[in-house]
Amino acid sequence: MKPADIQKIAEHEVDFQRAYKHRINVCTSSGCVPFGALKVLKAFEEAVKEFGVEKECKVARTGCVGTCSVGPAVIIEPGDYLYQSVTPEKVREIVRDHIVLGLPMKENLYSNEAFFTKQQRIVLKNAGKIDPHRVEDYIAMGGYSALVKCITRMTPQGVIEEVKDSGLRGRGGAGFPTGQKWSLVARAHGSPKYIVANLDEGDPGVFANRTLAEADPHSIIEGMVIAAYAVGAEKGYIYIRAEYPLAIQTLKLALEQARVLTLLGDNILETGLKFNIELRFGAGAFVAGEETAILASVEGRRANPRPRPPYPANSGLWGKPTLIQNVETLANIPNIVHYGGEWFAKYGTPRCTGTKCFSLTGKINNPGLIEVPMGITLREVVFDIGGGIPDGRKFKAVLVGGPSGGCLPETLLDLPIDYEALTRVGAIMGSGGIVVIDDQSCMVDTAKFFTDFCVEESCGRCNPCRAGLARVKEIFDGITKGEGKMEDITTLEKSSGYIKEASLCGLGQTAPNPVVTTLRYFREEYVEHVVEKKCRAGRCFKNLNSEANKQ
């Protein structure tokens, strides 16, 4: 294939899809399949035949649109009518009323319009709208046109400058400027050069990267190929945890399709560009999200971090220059190249441009996957998009950044979501986890839970993380059993500071964040636990059967 052939495929596919009056998109993501999505898909295929409208209705499987709590979800086009909690029994009515009679079933439509109103979809623009198993669907939506633009009209340095102009920062958590990282790899000496796409996503309750891979795998692949062109890489790896079977299956098929169309290989689109991608499976270690640990795992070794420098840009896989990027970062690249860096920079804030995907979970009315502009406030996410706290309960805190994030109180709800603002108050962006906590939760127990998780996930290589976190866990065990002393609170603070300053990698450096922030913003609960042996939420001291604990 040649570059011009991509446009021909797009035109043919658009004409093909225009022949249908309606398109019925059935979510078959790993969030909807357990609730019967495949049966719903089959029921739609049978129903359109029963009513004799199969020639005017395209029934397609898609990825997740983000409304995870009301699956299986179905979008009917035109009009983007989103049906929630669809069952095989409801399918026949939907086809009869909506397709045949032209009367959408309002009582079955997703009614929380606010969930989408404040979102800005760039990375997730195709989620729920294309069949991830058909590369033609992606191409019809403009897919791979950015790659064609790169290799026919732009120099590698020109691509890097466009990424710099966009202001894009790494979406894996650290927020390092993407264009700057690409420049370092492009200038590095050594061959071959590698690209590693991080799809490990080890934070509990975080599923943005998995959903992206299931819904729009070619956006990741196209972003990687563009990056390879820009930095001069010849080989790429997508590092994905083995617990993501549907994402793995979807990516495998997408890679095969890309090779067939010569979008990957030794002579991409007959331009001489050489780049191949392989999948590498992780065993599910949280520490494997750290970039040097990823490198060790890809090489076949245990996922242990190593000291830096040297940095991966100069000495990564097998000692060669390596670009490591989160898959969300890479999925932004085709849009940046296609529309321009200045276009992307119009979203978000001057220092934190663009959008960010978040997994919104916890005690919230509208949990799901969202994509919002940088700079949006926590209040807008929790109460406008998320719909507030269910069952009439009160908001207590929000954990931002996963198990290494910070627990922020109601007084910080108007904080804008960006890298620097979150860091100032003790949280991190992380891989995009937002967990809402209501007034039935104990903040001491919450900090203990995440400390226990980090103790289990520590690789044990450095003493501050291995021994320091174990000591913090011991203190929490004592406090929640009624054995705490006031000096324990001081020890928690001092130990957390030591662990943050002296740990080798990001896991240890950020693991104390839940402890530090709960001590800063909810200190009175620690004092109650130690002095009064009282837990407001009734989570602790169960072995004491304390009357004070029940009040």
Has residue 413 got a pLDDT over 50?
Answer: yes
Would strands 57-62 and 22-27 be described as parallel, antiparallel, or unpaired? parallel
pLDDT at residue 548, rounded to an integer: 45
pLDDT band per the 50, 70, 90 thresholds, residue 285: confident
- Which residues are registered as beta bridge partners of 177? 169
* Among the listed residues 406, 411, 404, 370, the one whose alpha carbon sits nearest the alpha carbon of residue 387: 370
Q: Which amino acid is at 72?
A: P
How many helices (H) and strands (E) the chain has is answered by 23, 14
Give the whole-number percent of the chain exceeding pLDDT 70. Answer: 98
CA 153 – CA 400 distance, rounded (Å): 41
pLDDT digits (tens, 9 = 90+) for 115-143: 999 999 999 999 999 999 999 999 999 99
Cα torsion for 163, 166, 167, 171, to the nearest 10°? -70
Would the pLDDT of 550 be above 70? no
pLDDT band at 68 (very low <50, low <70, confident <90, very high): confident
Band the pLDDT of 543: cuts 50, 70, 90. low
Confidence of residue 544 (pLDDT cuts 50, 70, 90): low
Euclidean distance between CA atoms 117 and 417, whole angstroms: 17
pLDDT in tens, 479-526: 999 999 999 999 999 999 999 999 999 889 999 999 999 999 999 999
User: Lowest-pLDDT range, 125-129, 204-208, 327-331, 354-358?
Assistant: 204-208
Average pLDDT over residues 334-356: 97
Candidates 465, 549, 550; CA nearest to 507 is 465
Indicate if the alpha-carbon torsion angle 362, 367, 369, 371 is positive or negative.
negative
Domains, the chain, with CATH or none: 19-114 (3.40.30.10), 142-345 (3.40.50.11540), 355-438 (3.10.20.600), 443-550 (1.20.1440.230)
Picking from 127, 280, 279, 148, the residue whose alpha carbon sits closest to that of residue 222 is 148
Rounded to an integer, the average pLDDT of 232-238 is 98
Encoded tokens for 369:
């996957």
Angle at 274 between CA 272 and CA 278, to 5 degrees: 155
SS3 content of the chain, % helix, strand, coil (to 5): 50, 15, 35
Provide the CB-side half-sphere exposure for 60 (13 A, CA).
26
Q: Work out the end-to-end distance of the chain between its first and last CA atoms, rounded to an integer number of angstroms.
A: 72
C-alpha distances in Å from residue 67, one per residue of 206, 226, 291, 360: 14, 31, 31, 10
**Tokens standing for residue 80:** 């983007």
Rounded Cα–Cα distance for residues 453 and 204 (Å): 9
Q: Which three-class secondary structure state does DSSP give residue 525? A: helix
In this predicted structure, what is the pLDDT of residue 549? Answer: 47
Q: Is 278 exposed, middle or buried (0-12, 13-18, 19+ CB in 10 A)?
A: exposed
Cα–Cα dist 270/266, whole Å: 9
Query: In whole angstroms, how large is the CA radius of gyration of the chain?
Result: 25
> Distance (Å, rounded) from C-alpha 360 to C-alpha 32?
17
* pLDDT score recorded for residue 427: 94
> What distance in Å separates the CA atoms of residue 131 and residue 14, rounded to the nearest whole number?
14
Assess whether pLDDT exceeds 50 at residue 546.
Answer: no
- Single-letter residue type at 218: H
For residue 382, which of 413, 407, 341 has the smallest C-alpha distance? Answer: 413
**Torsions phi, psi of 402, nearest 5?**
80, -160
pLDDT at 547: 46
Q: What is the residue whose two structure tokens read 């996922």?
A: 303
Which residues, 6 or more positions from 81, have their beta carbon under 8 angstroms from its beta carbon? 75, 98, 104, 109
The answer to whether the Cα torsion of 122, 128, 130, 134 is positive or negative is positive
Helix (H) or strand (E) holding 409: strand 406-409
Q: Which of 128, 118, 80 is nearest to 366 (CA)?
A: 118
